[in-house]
Chains A and B, each alone.
Chain A
């Protein structure tokens, strides 16, 4: 059993690297938004209402006057469709949140999801842990993207500092936690990586995440032994 204070501290500790990775990204977003003529207030509105980094950055790239509403909305839908897969996986693990699940869904980001799934491997995800992670990301995202509209001009080449590599580094480290042996996890990783890279190289947009994820899932189902479903249930009871 963990106490709320321990969960709060665990959440802060877990979210710290992802905040450090997201802040430069948000600063660049703010800077790009200013270049497109968006005001700090509009940046704050977008960061708090949409709250989804990649789709916001692409949106700013597409922005013109007057705003192409339908194209922006459709793009956001397609880029963020991966959240549907994440939500489907997370749903049962936060079923005990009750109606707070709908707020949890609003605050769902790649980072909050990945940290929570990693946490769920060891122990149940408490409300305190999830909302500590998710709300910290939310607040930092607002502050940094608005600051970017003011100071972003000073951060023009973040890739020279390797800052763009923080995000994949976090995900590589988290992905290791899901290793369940070459027989069970190997096919998932290979199928997902190969299809994601192939689709990324050939199809524009964010389809590669969905395509890679579906390929990985199919590989798991195809290569799973018949008795694995019962094993998984038994394993859960003893865990």
Chain B
């Protein structure tokens, strides 16, 4: 149960820069105009970020793509937890069957 000082310095440096990325958006947003193109851009930001995170994972292979489509359809009907549980099960079954 020891902490090496060099390791701790690395952890602190990572933490400081990570916190900087987290407050930077808050600091910038306070100075942005609240209408016009900037407003349109901020409204579009949540779906744009979500899709950018998801797309490469889902396009990684046919199994991921198929499981992604299943989740998409299920999410229209089921609550989040059920959707995720079935999505995970489908991914596992497809991998078990085809890998």
Q: Could you say which interface size class chain B belongs to? A: 35 or more
In the bound complex, what is the Cα–Cα distance between A175 and B80 (angstroms)? Answer: 12
Contact of B84 among A21, A50, A82, A215 (CB under 8 A): A21
Indicate the member of B37, B43, B47, B89 with the most A CB atoms within 10 Å: B47
In the bound complex, what is the Cα–Cα distance between A84 and B19 (angstroms)? Answer: 10
Given contacts A76-B18, A197-B55, A208-B52, contact A41 B1 (CB under 8 A): yes
Given contacts A85-B45, A161-B88, A197-B55, contact A170 B80 (CB under 8 A): yes
- Report whether B48 and A220 are in contact in the complex, using a CB–CB cutoff of 8 Å: yes
Query: Shortest CB–CB separation between residue B35 and chain A, in angstroms?
Result: 5
Secondary structure class of chain B's binding surface, majority of residues: helix
CB under 8 Å from chain A, chain B span 52-99: 52-59, 64, 67-68, 71-72, 74-76, 80-81, 83-84, 87-93, 95-96
Query: Shortest CB–CB separation between residue A79 and chain B, in angstroms?
Result: 9
Secondary structure class of chain A's binding surface, majority of residues: helix
Q: Name the A residues within 8 Å of B39 (CB-CB).
A: 229, 232-233
- Report whether B40 and A232 are in contact in the complex, using a CB–CB cutoff of 8 Å: yes
Q: Return the CB mask of A117-132 against B: 1 if under 8 Å, else 0.
A: 1000000000000000
Q: Does A144 contact B (CB under 8 A)?
A: no
- Report whether B51 and A192 are in contact in the complex, using a CB–CB cutoff of 8 Å: yes
Closest residue of chain B to A68, judged by CB? B10
In the bound complex, what is the Cα–Cα distance between A191 and B51 (angstroms)? Answer: 9
Contact of A73 among B13, B34, B36, B90 (CB under 8 A): B13
Q: Name the B residues within 8 Å of A90 (CB-CB).
A: 25-26
- Report whether B11 and A45 are in contact in the complex, using a CB–CB cutoff of 8 Å: yes
Indicate the member of B32, B57, B67 with the most A CB atoms within 10 Å: B57
Given contacts A188-B51, A209-B52, A212-B51, contact A42 B18 (CB under 8 A): no
Query: Shortest CB–CB separation between residue A135 and chain B, in angstroms?
Result: 15
Query: Shortest CB–CB separation between residue B28 and chain A, in angstroms?
Result: 5
Q: Name the A residues within 8 Å of B20 (CB-CB).
A: 77
- Report whether B57 and A168 are in contact in the complex, using a CB–CB cutoff of 8 Å: yes
Query: Shortest CB–CB separation between residue A67 and chain B, in angstroms?
Result: 4
A-B contact pairs, 26 of them (CB 8 A): A17-B84, A42-B8, A42-B11, A45-B11, A46-B14, A49-B14, A76-B15, A77-B18, A80-B17, A80-B21, A83-B22, A86-B45, A88-B26, A89-B49, A92-B29, A92-B42, A165-B87, A165-B92, A169-B87, A172-B58, A173-B74, A178-B47, A189-B47, A191-B48, A192-B52, A196-B56
